[in-house]
Every structure is written in structure tokens, then in C-alpha cells.
A and B are shown apart, each in its own frame.
Chain A
């Protein structure tokens, strides 16, 4: 079997193809000659002018670097583009980065959902699930928080990561520089300090969360930050728990802010999830018997169903994947995971079933439910392309317009414009 890097190279070479076609090369030749002629016609500067301009440019760059004005928290960008307040940020596989004007950045890792809330003097990220790595620059007058389940991390200029898996109610914070303070209802009023090199984690019994996405759904329509201007760290963390999906249920005593060994014993995730986490999808799916699979379809929380569907899809079992996604959508129609299931169903219809009509249906469902999320640009591009390939030019042009309205600088913008140019 070929190694991964070779497979990667072969697939990329095939996808890229040979480059621009003959007509494009002819146009390129004409442009090249025109520019050459224009360049020759331009009067030449004395060499010292060029040198002087170069020195001036270097000085300007140095001045800009050294005398950069005091940075502000706003604006913030997600993957290089501005984001709306409380917009659901979801990363399926490729990590995405939130960047702040003051140099702080937060990277959401694979299978992570979060929403950002900001108000004067306060930045708060609500982590619904998954893991984030943050590098926050200390800034007078601005407080930074990460809310995850029943916990809230108060940031004090630092580099750290937070992980939250609601299904196992597993929370972990690891600090590589500086210090953070973990607040939670069952923790001391002042919270627990976690310093550089330390990790603090907590696992509890599974939370009965019939609507796993509801906290974030709420965060989309209400300000996730508490109403007080000042974070009431000293007064305990009842407000900190407000982001949680339910009242904190961890019964263990306050965890040691040091090592894994010191933390209370955790409820081990099932074998299939561990295998999935290692990328062994076939084995993960084999670890779930047919009866267990049916049982999960009937009882598992939204996050598990999405993960189960993805595992089946990656393992090459589209039927089981489809069942998991369908069950997820019927049992948790309002959950964020249900939207992702719609996108996954569209992909199955397009990639596996080669059924463009069904793919179009699911893409429309996904865009109806998540018109501005992380995957919306990709969904619009797919929809535009599928409609065009079906000869439905008018509808494709409609989607192209929609694409340009939402993602004017998106990677498919050129194609959308081309489609609009060629549509009747």
C-alpha cells in the first residue's frame, strides 16, 4: 500500500490537473508581451531613486512595527473574515482560527463548536464541545473568559487549551504559559488557579442532556456574558455556570490543579469512541454490535449520534451513517449537530449515491438552518455546482448570487461570477 504522503501527492496532482488550457496560455502570451512593451516604454528612474525608495520603505516598515498603536480587542476575524456576534463557529475537521486585533488568537480544533460574545471590556467564548487552544495577550481593561459546560475559565494573559466533551461531561484546562482561574458552582468562590505546566481536569457521570445544543442555541440569541460589567470572581460562580447545559452534577470534590493522576477517576468513553479518536474507524464501527447500534439510534445524545454517523461514513458504511444522521435529525431537530447531519447527508447523496436531487435537497435544508456557519460557503458552492451540472442554470445563478452576497471574497467567487456572466 502506498504511503500517505504519496497518496496525497498523487491525489493533489490529479485534482490540480495540468494547469491553464491552450486558450488561457494564448491570452497569457498576449498579456505578457503587452506588459513587456509597457515596461520598456516607461521612463527609467535613476538608480539612487530606487535605493532611496527602498530605504524609505524599510524605515516605514520599522516605524510601523515599533510604533504600532495600542491594540484594541475589536475587530475579530474567523478564518480571516469578519464574524457576526454569537455566530456559531463549527469546525468539522480543519482547525480554524479566531484572531483579535491585539494579537490574541484562539484556534478551534476538529469537531469543535463555539460562539463568541463581546461587549466592552469583556470577551467570552462559549465552548459547546471540542477543544480550543488560546494565546491571549494581556490587556488592561479587558477580561477574557471561556465558558464550557458548568465551568468558566477566567484568563489572565496566557497560553492555554480548554477541552469540553458534554457527552462524557469531561472538562480539561491545560496551561503552558501564565495562569488561568477555573470557576464553577462546586468550586471555591475564588475558583481554582491553574498555572503554567499544570493541567486541571474533571469528568463526571453523563449529563442527561436531551437537547445538547440548547445552551449554544440560546447563546445565539442572547448575550452569553452575565449582565454585570465586572466579572464577579470573588462572589462565586453561579453566573459562570449559567452557560452550562444543566446544573453542575459533578459530585467529586474539588480537583487538584496539577496532574491527571490527581483528578477524580473519569467515566471511560466507550471503546468505539476511543478507536474513532485514533482514526481507526473500521475497528470503531466493528466494536458496536448491531443491537448496540440500534440502541444508540434510539437513546444516544446528539453528539454521539453525529460522531457515530461520521465514524460509519469514514469507515465506508454509508447506510449506517445515513441511519445515524437521520435519527439525529429526527430526535434532535434543533440541535447544532442536526444541521451538520444535513450537510453530511448531502455529501453522502452526492459522493456515494450519486443522487444530485437528494444532494440538492439536503444542501438546501442545511443552508436553510445554517445560512452563515462555517460550512455555508462550501454548501453554497456545492449547491451551485450541482444545480449547474443538472442544467438548472436559473437556480444555479440564484445560488451564485447568494454566494457572492455572503462570501464575496470566497474561494468560489470567481466561479460564481462566471456562472452569473454566462447565465441567461
Chain B
């Protein structure tokens, strides 16, 4: 379900060395193929943006959608945000120096788009003195309990500053490691740690004031299959 690159986990088991030169060679081949595919994709975007956009979507739609979905909480504007991500990819891919890092770069673009949207909304709240209603995308599970849990959880998340909300989402909803989070957000590992700790503190305090939500979390109810 979630992308868990266990080989990158700090403290995880080191890669097996006993399989010898053959497995190392297979890995190298795979990496080389991946690099080639990424470079071809970037070239395609630069040569023919429309075809490149289609290819980018084919390759990254699932990852970008899942990331936006979880960071924004099945937002009603989900499709518009995903579109923004792909347009940004298209207009700035020429700056990507190392095609090997295309996946990480796409993730960083997605995170930046979400962050900008969260900031825009908080500014709008400030300027217009209104709290926009929490609206969710029509594709969110039809099961009422799951939706209610999402609404209540979003009310908690919306009280977090954008940076903390994103760090929390990347770690706890997307299972990224802190170094991966730091890279996606463009700040240091220490900052990532600090923001995660702050987000956790806030969430603990906010959830404590909502016994009904806490009850559901503890009972594991209200979760869609």
C-alpha cells in the first residue's frame, strides 16, 4: 500500500552480500536502465511537451496522486492540484541536472505544490476572516465512518502550520524516512526532526481534546477496508 523503501531505512538490515557479483551486476543493470528511462523521459518532455506530459502522467500519476491525496486529505480540489504538479514538472524539468534523481525531484515538486496551496489557504483565512468548509473529493470511500474519521482528522490537521502538517503526512501517512522528508521538503535533517516533533506534540494535544476521535483511533473503528 504505502511506498516503503526498506533498503533505505536507517538501522535496517544491510543488503546481503553473499549473493556475489551476479546480484550486484543485476542491480547495476537495473539502475542503469532506470537512469536511461528517466533520461529518455526528460528528453521527451523537452522535445515534445504534450507527449512528454502524457508519459510523465503514465509514469508518476499514481505516486503524485497518492501523495497529494494524503497530504491534502482527499481534498475537493485534488485534481486541480495534481494538474498543477504536472504543469510545474513540465515547465521546470529543464532544471533537473541529474535524471537519476527524477523520482525524488517529482516528489519535491509535489510537496512544494501542496505546501503552496496550504499557505494560500491559510492566508485566505487570515485575510477574509473565514474558515473554509472541509470539502472532500467524491472518490473518498463511500463508507460514512471512514469519511467521518477523515473529516475529524482533517479538523486536527488544519490546525497545524503547513510545514508541520506536511512533515507529519510524509512520515506517518507516506512512511518516508526523515532523510527522505528533508530532501522532499528542502530543509535539513535537524529541521525535519524538529518539525515532526512539534507536529506530534500538537496532534497529541488536539486529539486529547476530542475523545470521540481518540476513541475511534483506539478502537480501530471507522476505517474503511
Contact = CB atoms under 8 A, between A and B. Distances in A.
Interface of A: 3-21, 24-25, 28-29, 31-33, 35-37, 39-40, 61, 65, 77, 79-81, 92-94, 97, 99, 103, 110, 279, 281, 313-314, 316, 351, 378, 381-382, 385-386, 409, 411-412, 414-415, 418
Contact of A92 (B86, B155, B212, B218): B212
Contacts of B61: 25, 28-29
B69 A16 contact: yes
Given A9-B172, A16-B69, A20-B69, A4 B139 contact: no
A411 B150 CA distance: 11
Nearest to A12: B153
A8 B203 contact: yes
Main secondary structure of the interface of B (DSSP, over half): helix
B120 interface: no
A32 B86 contact: yes
B54 interface: yes
A18 B78 CA distance: 13
B215 A11 contact: no
Given A18-B1, A20-B65, A11 B53 contact: no
B138 interface: yes
A14 B147 CA distance: 11
Contacts of B83: 28, 31-32, 35
A16 B86 contact: no
Contacts, number: 182
Given A16-B150, A29-B54, A80-B133, A11 B139 contact: no
Contacts of B54: 29, 33
Given A19-B69, A29-B54, A13 B2 contact: yes
A388 to B, nearest CB: 8
B74 interface: yes
B148 interface: yes
B103 interface: no
Interface string B62-104: 1001101110011010110011001100100000000000000
Contacts of B87: 36, 39
B46 interface: no
B74 A16 contact: yes
A183 B151 CA distance: 40
Contacts of B219: 316
Max chain B CB contacts within 10 Å: which of A4, A11, A15, A409? A15
Interface string B175-198: 000000000000000000000000
A382 B82 CA distance: 30
Nearest to A11: B217
A385 B209 CA distance: 28
B49 interface: yes
Contacts of A411: 133-136, 147, 151
Contacts of B222: 11, 15, 351
A80 B139 contact: no
B218 to A, nearest CB: 7
B217 A94 contact: no
14 contacts: A4-B203, A4-B207, A4-B217, A5-B168, A5-B200, A5-B204, A9-B173, A19-B74, A28-B79, A29-B57, A31-B83, A33-B54, A36-B90, A418-B138
B211 A314 contact: yes
A313 B215 CA distance: 9
B210 A94 contact: yes
A199 to B, nearest CB: 21
A15 B223 contact: yes
A77 B130 CA distance: 9
Contact of B203 (A5, A24, A81, A110): A5
Given A80-B131, A93-B213, A5 B172 contact: yes
Contacts of A17: 69, 140-141, 224
A385 B149 contact: no
B31 interface: no
B76 to A, nearest CB: 8
A101 to B, nearest CB: 9
A35 B217 CA distance: 41
Interface string B145-165: 111111111011000000000
A35 to B, nearest CB: 7
Nearest to B207: A4
A324 to B, nearest CB: 16
Contact of B220 (A11, A18, A381): A11
A381 B86 CA distance: 34
Given A8-B156, A351-B145, A411-B135, 16 more contacts: A4-B214, A5-B200, A12-B150, A14-B223, A16-B74, A19-B66, A19-B74, A20-B65, A32-B82, A32-B83, A39-B87, A279-B211, A314-B211, A385-B142, A411-B133, A411-B151
A378 B147 CA distance: 10
A5 B199 CA distance: 9
B163 to A, nearest CB: 16
